[in-house]
């Protein structure tokens, strides 16, 4: 994992973990690696990783069992909402880019439909 943008490290680690939850690499109800193991893997100060975990907990994406560790939420709706949020962000950015290029909404839908058809054909 590279930390190359201008956001604080804890935000970037949080983002990385969220993507792992969305993609199912971290399963619902599954255990997160310990703070220290994550710190080692990413070569980051353990206090920073701790803060990322706390942020995820604040957003109800993970919960901590005393003495057991940190686990991904078992609430499917929370994960679904997270996934939808990420998807929306990508689409919003895509729409802005397309409109900058001069496409209107119906042009965009047509292009996407063509693209989906092509994918099916392959």
Residues that bind other proteins (CB under 8 A): 3-4, 6-10, 36, 39-40, 42-48, 51
Measured from the CB of residue 112, what is the shortest distance to other proteins in angstroms?
34
Sign of the alpha-carbon torsion through 18, 24, 25, 29: positive
Measured from the CB atom, the residue of 52 and 73 that comes closer to other proteins is: 52
Measured from the CB of residue 23, what is the shortest distance to other proteins in angstroms?
24
Residue 95 near residue 108, CB atoms below 8 Å: yes
Measured from the CB atom, the residue of 15 and 75 that comes closer to other proteins is: 15
Please give the C-alpha separations between residue 37 and each of 8, 23, 24, 49, 89, in angstroms, as whole numbers.
20, 21, 20, 10, 30
Measured from the CB of residue 44, what is the shortest distance to other proteins in angstroms?
4
Measured from the CB atom, the residue of 42 and 78 that comes closer to other proteins is: 42
- How far apart CA 79 and CA 69 sit, in angstroms, is 19
Measured from the CB atom, the residue of 42 and 108 that comes closer to other proteins is: 42
Measured from the CB of residue 101, what is the shortest distance to other proteins in angstroms?
28
């Amino acid at each position: 994992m590279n930390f190359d943008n201008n956001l604080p490290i804890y935000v970037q680690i949080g983002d990385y973990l969220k993507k792992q939850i969305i993609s199912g690499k971290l399963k619902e109800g599954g255990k997160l690696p310990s703070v220290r193991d994550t710190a080692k893997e990413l070569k980051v100060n353990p206090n920073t990783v701790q803060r990322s975990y706390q942020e995820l907990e604040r957003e109800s994406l993970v919960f901590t069992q005393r003495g057991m560790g940190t686990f991904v939420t078992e609430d499917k709706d929370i994960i679904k909402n997270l996934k939808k949020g990420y998807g929306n962000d990508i689409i919003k950015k895509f729409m802005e880019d397309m409109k900058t290029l001069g496409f209107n909404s119906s042009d965009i839908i047509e292009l996407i439909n063509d693209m989906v058809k092509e994918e099916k054909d392959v």
